[in-house]
Each structure stands twice: as structure tokens, then as C-alpha cells.
Chain A
């Protein structure tokens, strides 16, 4: 995303009055907002059971029999799954792809939002469709769709060998593999689950089960030499291309690289590890002990723990800071660098770092109202609905997107705040 081209002038911009939408349409579903905040859109229904998407108060010209999964890619363009005459496709800003299928689902975007891939089914055959172009090969089933950062490669778990209902021994011979852009790996497995592309999109790593008891990681079709009691999603080191994954060994969970355990520490749980952009640091969500959750950086857990859960791990652009959302004693919190921010909430969303790594902002909810907190302090405004905050490229400003800011009206507005004023 090219944030620098967005409107970063400080102030408030009223984009749309949703209360008028509710008068104009029989129903208005929950709205979604573009990353730049300039567009708000919602699935709407007219009196005659036709559906459209209302964008900043204007409906798509085309109406459909059904619409679901309206989302914005990073390209600030509304994308939805639409149906006509019992056939389905993807509509981008109201324009459906040329090809229609018996079903499509699981919309995935490239990081820049330009490329869209979905899973599809037609004639009981399964495949992926990227920007309207279907894979040439189709399979008995498809799941765990994944796309590369640039969106130009798509992979999925596919069934290549059929087996009859109840044929447990055929299943145990391995009937599933991975298809990348429709081309399958040479070897099959009992199961393949979560996958990650390398940052350049040229390599793919996946968690697999080779037998009922042997789990490992497979990179481009080649399994690691060692098996484990279980594994979680692998990741590529952005610096050297090596692959790491949480693995379960006797004594607990550890982090392994290319099959070898690299963290000395053993955890009751370890998952969702992430690399810093320079590949030097690895952070993960861990449970050092049963029922105690926290973040570990390079194997060292934060001293503070949370008793319900930890989620939404974030690493700063400079790779030196970590933050997360956590729930403890029934309250949600934002925590950063081992410290839990003061206030507890009914819900907390993923924290985001400023590009200079100095600031952290997050959306939180308390008593039905939504707030934006920056470095632990709530913004003055509260909202009836809000979306995650975004920092300007120079880290000096914050974009906030919300409905009913400070009052209970239906106005959706985008706000740009000067951080120095807020944090003074």
C-alpha cells in the first residue's frame, strides 16, 4: 500500500451518513471501510429481494441475487462474492468477473490488494481462481488456500486420490497434497494444513502429517528429515530463506529451523511465531506454563503473563518491539514490550506500530463504544463503530475511521490527528 498518497491533512472528513442508508434500503448489513478511510460500503437489500453494495451512499449499478463477504483489499476497492441464477463469482467495485462457478469462497488478497484469489467449485470439482482465471487442474477437494505476498501465486491443500467412505486404510496411505497454481507436489500425505509462502513467493512451506503419528514440515514438497509429535504453521526467515516452525517434542513445544530445534526453552504451547522484517528476531505467542500466556522473543518470555489468552502478535518495523492483544481475568488488554497497558476492555483488536516503531495504536471496545488507544492512552473520541487505526508514513499522524464519533449520529468520518498534540 502506498500510504503516502493518502490525504494526511489533519482534520475530520464526513464521508457518509449511514442513517440515510437505513431509510433508503430495506436492510443495511454491517459496513466495511477502505484502508484509506475514504470509502464506506455495506451490503444492502432492496424491496424486491435484490442485493447490492452501497458505497458512500451510492449503490452499485448492478444488483445480484445474493451477496456476501464484502471486504476491502488493500487497494481501497470493495470486493464481494455475488450470485446470479445460482452461479457465483467475485465482484470488484460492482463489476463481476467474467466467469461464474457453482460456488466461490475464501477470498484472499495480495498485500497490495491488487490480486484476488478465491476457492471455487464447479461440477463437484475444486480449484482456485485468481483474478477471474481458474487453475487448469481441478481436484476432489480444496482447502487451506494461501497466496503469496504479491498475489501472483496461490496454493491450496487438494485431494488427488479418491477413497470410499470408511476406507480408513486407503486414507492412511496419503491422499492429499499441495497444489501451487494448480500443479501438485509429487508426494502425498495424510494431511496438509497451514502453509506459508516465502516473501518472494517462490517457495512454499506447509505443516503435514505423514502417518497418524508423524508430523513435520514440508518445503516445496520436500519433508524435513525429522518428525515431531505435532507442528504448527511454518514461516520463512525473510533474511536467509530458512524455514522455522513450532514443533512438539518430549518436554513441550520448541522452535525448530529446518528440522533442528533452535530454542532451548520448552513451552507448554508455542505458536504464531513471526520474524522481524530484518529476520534477526523471532517472536511467538507462548505458554511458559499451563494456563499462563505471554510473548517470547528469541525464546525468552516476557515476565508478565495472561491467564486467558494472547493473540494478535505484532512486531515493530525495526524489529525491536513486540505488542499483542491479551485477555486476562476476563478483561482484554493491549500489552507491549512485556508491559500490560493500564485499562481493561471488553475487546481489543490487533495493535499496530508506527513506521518509526515509536508508537503503538489499537482499537478497543468498552460498554458498547469503541475507542482508539495510543501508547496506552485513549483518544478523546468514542465511536459507535470503528476500524483499526493507521499511522502516516512519517509516523507523525494517525488515521482514525469511525461512525458516530463523540455522539450517536450515523455519520461515518475519517479523522487525521497530529500525534504530537495528542501525546503532549
Chain B
């Protein structure tokens, strides 16, 4: 396996960060930072900063740290020290170059995966601290170009892929037509008021992975579900604004999403296989708006598939026989506790399952999440180098027979594909929906 020290990688050029920095003055930096601390840096921030005793127990939890020869710069506490730590020490009087470097650390060297939170003896939420740093960068306009563009897409279209309203509807109708060749009279019911299920996806599905919508339509129809999708914005449950620090826009996105489900009087939301979107609707965006939890019942695809098999709505014709392993996505496993349900679905559909180690809530992040992969190609090499530990974990599962990696999360999918390719692992990555579609009885 290729191995490269990040020390050899210079600060990465990024138009969003570089040009954003050019528009700043040092006075502006100090003023914005101080205002952020005054208005938003409350007790939580203060307690976290003052409680950390720099014990280092978070370090071994971090894939960036483990993958980069245990360089302390990549330890969770080290990343806080290099960013917010210096800002606090200097009372906000930091340079523009400092902000640019802090932006790179906060946006591309931490996946906000919260594995370190589990190992911190005080439960300090490093992800919160990194997000606070990202919000400062947002307020200063120093955000990596690719993810900022995605945030702009969200603000205009309410989806992350600049998908226009007609393109969304047309894609659903196209997939409906395609699927009718396989299942006669299949429907993707648009705007069906009073349906039990509001099914939501993320922007890349209509843009790049329309077959996932096709597969879901088949599963819904075979299971006899009463479901709908909106023909309006609100269909995309994803949210990169949550990761750029644009909390106001993150809230707006979730308002549109939940209100689409309310408008159609659906009883619950079922979302596709996405991890960060789950975090957005279950934990973050809903709370920005004032909802303690999701205002309507909401489940991730893992829970939905579990229900379908538990309730015998789906029948397996022939189990998937190629050995599979499971990557536990951080947001739905550490963040949502869905790991056993995922294994239930795999046991229902696959004949040979190889556990990855560590697993469940201890699993290593894919290094794509937290918006890191959305920062785009400039950081992709750094990202895969920063997750060699994941490559080792996958190689171990492969050595024990696994050929397929099941990853019920879009970002994990993309991140693992990069790792498999970079480390030449020759493994295939699938969604749970791919497996289910392949093995259920569709008659």
C-alpha cells in the first residue's frame, strides 16, 4: 500500500479559501471572531475548552491521527488546539493566513464523526468545536470552494446538486417508466396526499444514482406500501449547509423538507440510505428550527428495511451468496444506534457475512463524512491518506473472505470507493437496497 506523510503535503490551494481570505482584513477577522464568541460561544463552548486536560485519549480514536503516523497535529485535541485554542489564546487577534489554515483543518481534517467523543473521559464533543470553527469560517467567507458551491445549490434549489424542479419530476417519471418494464403497473406516486410514507432522498440520487430510486420503487411496490414523493422542493433530505457553518440555511432546508411532508399529510418520513442527512433531520436541522426531535416520525432506510422483513412484507427468493462485510456509518450508528438492525437485514438477505473490526459504534469513519468529501478534488488525496486505517480494516475483512462492502450511506459509499481504489483493495461497495433489490421475490 502506498504510504505518504501529510507533512510532505503543503497547504492545499483552494479558491474558496484563498480568494475568500483576500477579501478579509485583520480587523474584520478579529471583529467577526469576537462577535461569534459573544453571541454564540456559550457555556457549552466554554466548558469544553476549559475541561479538556489534554490527556490524549481522543487521539487513538481518530482515523486521521492513526493514519498519519500518530502525528499529534491530527489528534482531535490537537486540531482544537491549532484552531480555537489559538483564537482563544490570542483573543481573536489572528492573521488571515491563520484563518485559512484553520479552515483547512476544520473542513478537511475532521469528519465530525464523533468517535473521539466516545473515548473522551469527559465526553467533550470535538465535532461541536470543529463546527464552531467552521461557522467562524463561514462568517468570514473562507470556506472551501466545492462545499460552498454545494451550499449555494441548497440555497437556490433546496437540493445539493443544482437539480431543477422539472428535472426532479422528470427523473421520477423516467424511473417509473423504466421500472414498469420489470413490474407492470408500478407507480412512483407523486404528490399523493395522505399517503402513509413520505420517501425522501438526497440530491445525488436523481443526479447520478437514479437506479436507487428505481430500486426503491420496486421495493415499495413489492411490499405494497402506501407512499409518495413530493413534486416540490423538500424532496432532498441532505444538508451541506449544516457542515459549512451556515446554520440559517441549514434551518431553511429542513423547514422546506418537513413542511413538504406535512403538506402532503403523510404519517411518517422514510429516508434513503444517507448518513449525514439522517444527522440533519434527526439531530441538527430540526433543532435549529425548534423541534426537539423530528416533528413527524422519521426513520432511516435501515429501520425501514428491518420493518419490511420483520413484518414479512418482503420475501427473499434467494440469499445473496457473495461474502459481504458491513461498514457502520457514523451518523446512523454512533448517532442513531441502527447497527443491529442493519445486521438483521443482512442476515435476512445474505448467506455469508464477515464482521469488520472494530465495528458497530466503534467502527472507523469512511473519512468522507462531515462534508470532507464535499470539499472536492483538492483534498481527495489527503483524505484517502488520512484513512489508511480504514484501508487496513477493509483489507482484514477481505482477508477473511469479504468481497462486498455494504455501506448504507451515500458519503460512505463515495469515500470507501476512493479508499478501495487508492489502496487497490479490489472490493465492491453496495447499498443495502442493492442487495435487497437483487434477492427479493418480485412476483
Report the number of A-B residue pairs with Cβ-Cβ less than 8 Å.
Answer: 107
Of the listed stretches B77-85, B138-146, B355-363, name the one at the interface; the rest are far from the partner chain. Answer: B138-146
On whether the beta carbons of A69 and B190 are closer than 8 Å, the reply is yes
| A287 close to chain B: CB less than 8 A | yes
On whether the beta carbons of A171 and B152 are closer than 8 Å, the reply is yes
| B50 close to chain A: CB less than 8 A | no
The chain B residue with its CB closest to the CB of A270 is B290
On whether the beta carbons of A68 and B233 are closer than 8 Å, the reply is no
| B438 close to chain A: CB less than 8 A | no
| Given A119-B165, A229-B248, A347-B267, A212 and B138 contact (CB-CB distance below 8 Å) | yes
Within 8 A of B (CB), among A37-87: 45, 66, 68-69
Q: Mark B226-238, 1 if CB is under 8 A from A, else 0.
A: 0000011100000
On whether the beta carbons of B190 and A269 are closer than 8 Å, the reply is no
On whether the beta carbons of B233 and A143 are closer than 8 Å, the reply is yes
On whether the beta carbons of A168 and B165 are closer than 8 Å, the reply is no
Q: Mark B128-154, 1 if CB is under 8 A from A, else 0.
A: 000000000011010001101100100
| B169 close to chain A: CB less than 8 A | yes
A106 touches which one: B146, B157, B189, B232 (CB < 8 A)?
A: B232
| B72 close to chain A: CB less than 8 A | no
| A308 close to chain B: CB less than 8 A | yes
Q: Shortest Cβ distance from B374 into chain A, in angstroms?
A: 12
**Which A residues are CB-close (under 8 A) to B252?**
193, 230
Q: Shortest Cβ distance from B204 into chain A, in angstroms?
A: 15
A306–B138 CA distance with the chains assembled, in angstroms: 34
On whether the beta carbons of A291 and B290 are closer than 8 Å, the reply is yes
**Which A residues are CB-close (under 8 A) to B166?**
103, 105, 119, 121, 126
Residues of A near any B CB (own CB < 8 A): 26-27, 29-30, 45, 66, 68-69, 103, 105-106, 119, 121, 126, 141-143, 159, 165-169, 171-172, 176, 190-191, 193, 209, 212-213, 215, 229-230, 248, 250, 268-269, 271, 287, 290-291, 293, 307-309, 311, 327, 330, 346-347, 349, 365
Number of interface residues of B (CB under 8 A): 50
On whether the beta carbons of B155 and A191 are closer than 8 Å, the reply is yes
**Which B residues are CB-close (under 8 A) to A121?**
164, 166
On whether the beta carbons of A290 and B292 are closer than 8 Å, the reply is yes
B267 touches which one: A191, A230, A311, A346 (CB < 8 A)?
A: A346
| Given A165-B149, A166-B146, A250-B39, A143 and B165 contact (CB-CB distance below 8 Å) | yes
On whether the beta carbons of A103 and B152 are closer than 8 Å, the reply is no
A327 touches which one: B138, B255, B295 (CB < 8 A)?
A: B295
| B6 close to chain A: CB less than 8 A | no
A106–B190 CA distance with the chains assembled, in angstroms: 12
Q: Shortest Cβ distance from A386 into chain B, in angstroms?
A: 10
Q: Which 6 A-B pairs have the closest CB atoms?
A: A291-B292, A309-B295, A269-B290, A287-B290, A103-B166, A268-B290
**Which A residues are CB-close (under 8 A) to B138?**
212
The binding surface of chain A is classed by DSSP as strand
| B319 close to chain A: CB less than 8 A | no
On whether the beta carbons of A230 and B262 are closer than 8 Å, the reply is no
On whether the beta carbons of A190 and B169 are closer than 8 Å, the reply is no
Q: A121-B164, A309-B291 are in contact. List 19 more A-B contacts (CB 8 A).
A: A30-B189, A30-B193, A68-B173, A103-B170, A105-B169, A106-B231, A143-B157, A168-B148, A171-B149, A191-B155, A212-B138, A271-B255, A291-B290, A307-B292, A308-B293, A308-B295, A309-B262, A327-B296, A347-B267
Within 8 A of A (CB), among B37-59: 39
A366–B372 CA distance with the chains assembled, in angstroms: 45
Q: Shortest Cβ distance from B315 into chain A, in angstroms?
A: 24
**Which B residues are CB-close (under 8 A) to A268?**
290
A103 touches which one: B141, B169, B246 (CB < 8 A)?
A: B169
| Given A290-B290, A293-B290, A166 and B149 contact (CB-CB distance below 8 Å) | yes
| B156 close to chain A: CB less than 8 A | yes
On whether the beta carbons of A168 and B265 are closer than 8 Å, the reply is no
On whether the beta carbons of B145 and A291 are closer than 8 Å, the reply is no
| B25 close to chain A: CB less than 8 A | no
| B323 close to chain A: CB less than 8 A | no
Q: Mark B264-300, 1 if CB is under 8 A from A, else 0.
A: 0101000000000000000000010111110111000
On whether the beta carbons of A66 and B185 are closer than 8 Å, the reply is no
On whether the beta carbons of B192 and A30 are closer than 8 Å, the reply is yes
**Which A residues are CB-close (under 8 A) to B255?**
271
A313–B20 CA distance with the chains assembled, in angstroms: 43
Q: Shortest Cβ distance from A107 into chain B, in angstroms?
A: 10
| Given A105-B165, A119-B166, A209-B155, A311 and B262 contact (CB-CB distance below 8 Å) | yes
